[in-house]
């Protein structure tokens, strides 16, 4: 089990129209999808991430709750939060535009 440093979600863009919690969420989804984080790997505690990134605790908790709700991570109580065991990378499907037939 690998313990991940909070720097994996840096840098965030405070001027972006995307809320900070969503930026944190998207960074984690990206590192899970690219294999940097593997099933069973431990992610930083909300408190550690909050301190390292200078974010409010609620911001980090919102990101972690969204990750858990979508099945990317699972909380293990005092043992921390890990990437869901058995999780397969979800590769977003490209939207295919239907071909138009000439008239």
Enumerate the domain spans of the chain: 6-83
Q: Which CATH number among 1.10.3720.10, 1.10.10.10, 3.40.50.880, 3.90.850.10 corresponds to the domain 6-83?
A: 1.10.10.10
What is the pLDDT at residue 97?
Answer: 52
Q: Are 50 and 11 in contact (CB under 8 A)?
A: no
pLDDT digits (tens, 9 = 90+) for 42-69: 999 999 999 989 999 999 999 999 999 9
What is the pLDDT at residue 94?
Answer: 47
Q: Which residues pair with 43 in a beta bridge?
A: 81
**Sign of the four-CA dihedral 77, 82, 85, 87:** positive
Question: Which pair of tokens denotes residue 84?
Answer: 């869901």
- Which regions of the chain are under pLDDT 70? 1-7, 9-10, 89-103
What is the pLDDT at residue 66?
Answer: 97
Q: How far is CA 24 from the centre of its chain?
A: 6
What is the pLDDT at residue 102?
Answer: 58
Residue pointed to by tokens 């969420």: 25
């Amino acid at each position: 089990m690998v313990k991940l440093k909070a720097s994996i979600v840096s840098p965030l863009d405070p001027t972006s129209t995307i809320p900070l919690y969503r930026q944190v969420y998207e960074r984690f989804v990206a590192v899970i999808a690219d294999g940097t984080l593997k099933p069973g790997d431990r992610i930083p505690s909300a408190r550690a991430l909050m301190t390292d990134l200078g974010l409010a605790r609620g911001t980090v908790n919102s990101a972690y709750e969204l990750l858990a709700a979508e099945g990317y991570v699972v909380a293990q109580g005092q043992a921390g939060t890990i990437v869901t065991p058995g999780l397969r990378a979800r590769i977003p499907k490209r939207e295919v535009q239907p071909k138009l037939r000439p008239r």
